[in-house]
Chains A and B, each alone.
Chain A
Amino acid sequence: MKATIALAVDQLSFAYGAKKALDRLSFQIYAGECTILLGPNGAGKTTLFSLITRLYDSHDGHIALCGFDLQQQTCKALAKLGIVFQQTTLDMDMSVMDNLYYHAALHGIGRKQAGQRIEQELQRLNMWERRQEKVRQLNGGHKRRVEIARALLHQPSLLLLDEPTVGLDVPSRQAIVDYVHQLARETGLAVLWASHLIDEIYPGDHLLVLHKGQIKANGTVNEVLALTGTASIREAFQQLTQGEAA
């Protein structure tokens, strides 16, 4: 039996004026699956994320989160979504705890329950000891961990990560990549991870290759390799994006 569909995108298009950014995208993401959205800079990854989070709106095509249409049932759909943006979106002058309490309040979680969930998430990410520190005092990797904890606080079904490891050192990157994969495996969370870094892909991941607003490949790592007749994801990616290196 196929797992539940966490995200369904159907014939989605978007343009900035005359410039088409996304061209009739259709794909689905399932619970427990880690999908890597791979594409060079300017491929349309961030635009796609902005549409899924409804920061932008498109009249062409549909997006549904856990069966809730994003345009018709916006609040129900957004309640299923956890997101880590490319840019840090934490309040630098507030403590880790206060940032997380603020997020919990936006999701209607009571103070007591929020406290329990915050402890649980921060413990899992080894950040509990630093809960009283101001975000400004944390390094890039720790800020990212707090943002992941925040994105998981309301127990979403789909986690969106928009190039969350950009600018991090190798151990911090690896820790985040491992943790998110573990989450998908153990909790059934669906993950859509935008990246242009090949080494963030695990063999069991699902791949979605986006180039110039179009999906060039959609399948497991092996399926994409078979499709392109290449031996590595790097080669496959280069072939699909016509020579643009990752």
Chain B
Amino acid sequence: MSVTHYWRALWGIVGRELWRFVTQRERFVSALVRPLVWLFVFAAGFRAALGLAISPPYETYILYEVYITPGLCGMIQLFNGMQSSLSMVYDREMGSMRILLVSPLPRWFLLLSKLLAGVGVSVLQVYVFLAIAWADDIHAPWQGYLWAMPALLLSGLMLGALGLLLSSFIKQLENFAGVMNFVIFPMFFLSTALYPLWKLKESSILLHQIAQYNPFSQAVELIRFALYGQLNLHALIYTLTAFAVFMAAAIFGYNPSKGMMSRKGGA
């Protein structure tokens, strides 16, 4: 298989996903409504209740809206990763996943392409969200919007790989509600998306520790620092490692001879 073959297949998969996203306007809007509600309603309500001390990467006192904006970027990607996972389970049930998996390309490449397609969509959503936040006077330095791109790609890959991994375990579409309850919500609420770690420590040491080791926290911190033109090396390494682990496990899960597929009786 030539490099051109890989390239064409990658573009085919990514292009299809982007096309679906752009043409499905409801999906586009609903993906934005959730973080915007958090930003304009939740954050406005909590602004008064939650006092934030100056902590990196912020160099001055900030409004709560400013604090949760990177967390909401992560939220978009978290939901998108799980949405991709849901669509993989759906595709598997409906059969269109088969067409992808019987293509004459290595399975890891097909899964990675599918993942990249989902990440492309989530990054697009995040930038639209950031543009709306900008219009509401939530500004980051202009370079931050550029630095955020690689951070968003990595965090999107990590969360997408987690979704992919989950989809290799989920037998049927109906089981997906469990993912919402046991993965998305704990990951989101036990993270630094809504409150800083030190604030959490004041309430509970255990919750603080869980949030610290939650890969979603690290992804959010990576985005937060990048948005202010800074590199959080610890978050970068942590997110990168989590991506590698989730991706390897997902490839294993989709391996017909080793993973879940051999036990599940369906692709």
Contact surface of A with B, Cβ cutoff 8 Å: 16-17, 50, 53-57, 59, 71, 74-79, 81, 83, 85, 87-91, 93-94, 98, 101-110
Contacts and interface: CB of A to CB of B under 8 A. Distances in A.
B12 A56 contact: no
B164 to A, nearest CB: 17
Interface residues of B, number: 37
Interface of B: 1-2, 4-6, 8-9, 11-13, 15-16, 19-20, 23-24, 94-96, 98-106, 255-257, 261-263, 265-267
Contact of B20 (A71, A74, A93, A108): A93
Given A105-B8, A107-B104, A87 B94 contact: yes
Given A57-B257, A57-B262, A90 B104 contact: no
Contacts of B6: 108
Contact of B95 (A17, A85, A110): A85
A108 B1 contact: yes
Contacts of B11: 105
A91 B96 CA distance: 7
Given A78-B103, A108-B5, A87 B262 contact: no
B96 A50 contact: no
Contact of B2 (A59, A101, A104, A108): A108
A89 B105 contact: no
A89 B256 contact: no
A89 B95 contact: yes
7 contacts: A55-B101, A55-B267, A78-B102, A93-B23, A106-B12, A107-B5, A110-B4
Nearest to A71: B257
The 9 closest A-B pairs by CB, nearest first: A105-B12, A108-B5, A57-B257, A79-B104, A57-B256, A55-B267, A106-B103, A87-B95, A78-B104
B96 A54 contact: no
A108 B101 contact: no
Contacts of B2: 108
Nearest to A81: B102
A143 to B, nearest CB: 12
B256 A106 contact: no
A243 B104 CA distance: 41
